Structure 1
Amino acid sequence: MTTRAVADTAGVQAPTIYRLFGDKDGLLDAVAEHVMAEYVESKARTPENPDPVEGLRAGWRSQIEFSLTHPELHLLLGTRSRTSPATEAGIGVLRDRVHRIAVAGRLLVSEERAVEMIHAAGTGAIHSLLEIAPDARDHGLAEAMLDAVIGAIVAPAHTHGHARPGASVEVRAAAVTFAAFVPEMPALTPSERALLAEWVDRSIRSAQAG
């Protein structure tokens, strides 16, 4: 569709499109940003699941479904040289979900590492599925990738009748949980909080590397 056709559909003159958006690519960027922003806002309003891991699963499934039903939008945002504000907001929602897992005492890696792993796995799953014809896609692929990531970064829940995780796993989870609360600790100066966060982060990174 030409810029003039878009202008006619919108009931404005073509120069108005150029003045507001620069060119057709600018208009496409603005449309993509608007659609993505509305989706991210709807995710942020979704009530949180009492189980933070299940909340993460629900968010993952929602993102996979949205991207597969809006392939042009996903590809357009993915080819930008900069990250869009709406995409950044979406990553912010993911950070919040990961933080809830950390606060619950079940995260085994730093929150930053967890966000990076989940985001990379999700992006890879979406790209792989979009390269396959819709009727030939294995929709269990995305779920399997999430299971693999969760298995690597989340400690099993302490369920009655099941074995507790090993001591090293519990120590890692405790360190990540402690790190999640450092910014809120009272009676510490900003410098003391920063130093404490650095020490805990060093321990977490050592465990991740080990």
Structure 2
Amino acid sequence: MDDAKIRTRRQILEVAADILEREGAQAVSTRSVAAAAGIRAASLYQFFGDKDGLLSALAIHGFDMYLAEKRGLAHSGDPVDAMRRGWDMHVDFGLRHPAFYLLMFGTDRAGRRAPAADEAGDLLLKYLDRVAAAGRLRVPPALAARLCLAAVTGVTLTLVGAPAEDRDPEISARMRDALIDSLTTGPPTDPPPATDTGLAPRALALDAALTAADQATLPLRPTETALLRDWLDRLAR
């Protein structure tokens, strides 16, 4: 795609994003966007195909905005604290960009995954791998990611759908703390709870270390590594 076409596509997306933020997804049509961008509808079809294609591109644009804010979070030496700050940033993004959030994380029919679900899940998994590597995760990272994403999107969609005066920040804070406390342990210097044998966090930490290691340098054959990871998965449950 040459520079002129790239600029035109970017212009169309910016115009569509402005309409989306001001009036919602129902106001985004090929006709309204083409008129606001000062182009023919045929030109818009060349880039996006139809309205669904345009909305899909807007969902990707929204996720790019989301990622930019995620990258802007200050690094923390505490991976569990990073989970809490990531949760707060997610909810805040949804409340500041409700139309984008509904487009990214909502769905119009049962069985259809939200456009941003896979990307957000992969991003969250990277955070949780750090928690597991620190020996502070009680459940496998993939399960923790699904639980966190379900909880934070549920809370955010609930707050987005409520009148501004009824949005109690305590709802998000309580859900965040309850979930994260149930998924993680305290810092390594803290004594483990009486009901926690300590095996699950250690198993998950070793599994995370195996994932990060150079497989060629492991003193195990592939079948032995697979068996060890199966045992670690059992210990983590």
TM range (shorter): 0.7 to 0.9
- Contact preservation (8 Å) 2:201, 2:236: no
- Give the counterpart letter for 1:34 in structure 2: H
Unaligned runs of 5+ in 2: 1-26
Q: Could you tell me which of 100, 103, 107 is aligned with 1:73?
A: 100
Per the alignment, residue 120 of structure 1 pairs with 150
Per the alignment, residue 165 of structure 1 pairs with 193
- Counterpart secondary structure, 2:118: helix
Q: Which moved more, 1:142-151 or 1:38-47?
A: 38-47
Q: Could you give the per-residue CA deviations for residues 124-148 of structure 1, whole angstroms, max 9, x where no partner exists?
A: 1112212311111111111111111
Number of residue pairs aligned between Structure 1 and Structure 2: 202
Per the alignment, residue 202 of structure 1 pairs with 234
The answer as to 2:128 corresponding to 1:98 is yes
Distance, in Å, in 1 between the alignment partners of 2:57 and 2:191 is 52
Offset of 1:95 from its aligned partner? 0.8
Distance, in Å, in 2 between the alignment partners of 1:163 and 1:59 is 26
Q: Which moved more, 1:114-123 or 1:149-158?
A: 149-158
Offset of 1:7 from its aligned partner? 1.2
TM-score normalised per structure 1: 0.85
The answer as to 2:138 corresponding to 1:133 is no
Q: Sort the Cα spacing of 1:83 and 1:75 in 2 relative to 1 into closer, same or farther, 3 A.
A: closer
Q: Could you give the per-residue CA deviations for residues 69-97 of structure 1, whole angstroms, max 9, x where no partner exists?
A: 2222222231163443x543322221111
- Counterpart secondary structure, 2:75: coil
TM-score normalised per structure 2: 0.76
Q: Sort the Cα spacing of 1:88 and 1:11 in 2 relative to 1 into closer, same or farther, 3 A.
A: same
Unaligned runs of 5+ in 1: 206-210
Per the alignment, residue 40 of structure 2 pairs with 13
Per the alignment, residue 222 of structure 2 pairs with 190
Q: Percent identity?
A: 35
Task: Detail structure 1 runs of 4+ shifted over 4 Å in the superposition.
Answer: none
Offset of 1:192 from its aligned partner? 2.4
Offset of 1:167 from its aligned partner? 7.1
- Contact preservation (8 Å) 2:136, 2:184: yes
- Give the counterpart letter for 1:60 in structure 2: W
Per the alignment, residue 87 of structure 2 pairs with 60
Q: Could you tell me which of 29, 35, 42 is aligned with 2:56?
A: 29
Distance, in Å, in 2 between the alignment partners of 1:119 and 1:82 is 13
Offset of 1:188 from its aligned partner? 2.3
Q: Which moved more, 1:12-21 or 1:71-80?
A: 71-80
Offset of 1:120 from its aligned partner? 1.1
Offset of 1:47 from its aligned partner? 4.1
Distance, in Å, in 2 between the alignment partners of 1:48 and 1:100 is 12
Q: Sort the Cα spacing of 1:126 and 1:42 in 2 relative to 1 into closer, same or farther, 3 A.
A: closer
Offset of 1:163 from its aligned partner? 4.7
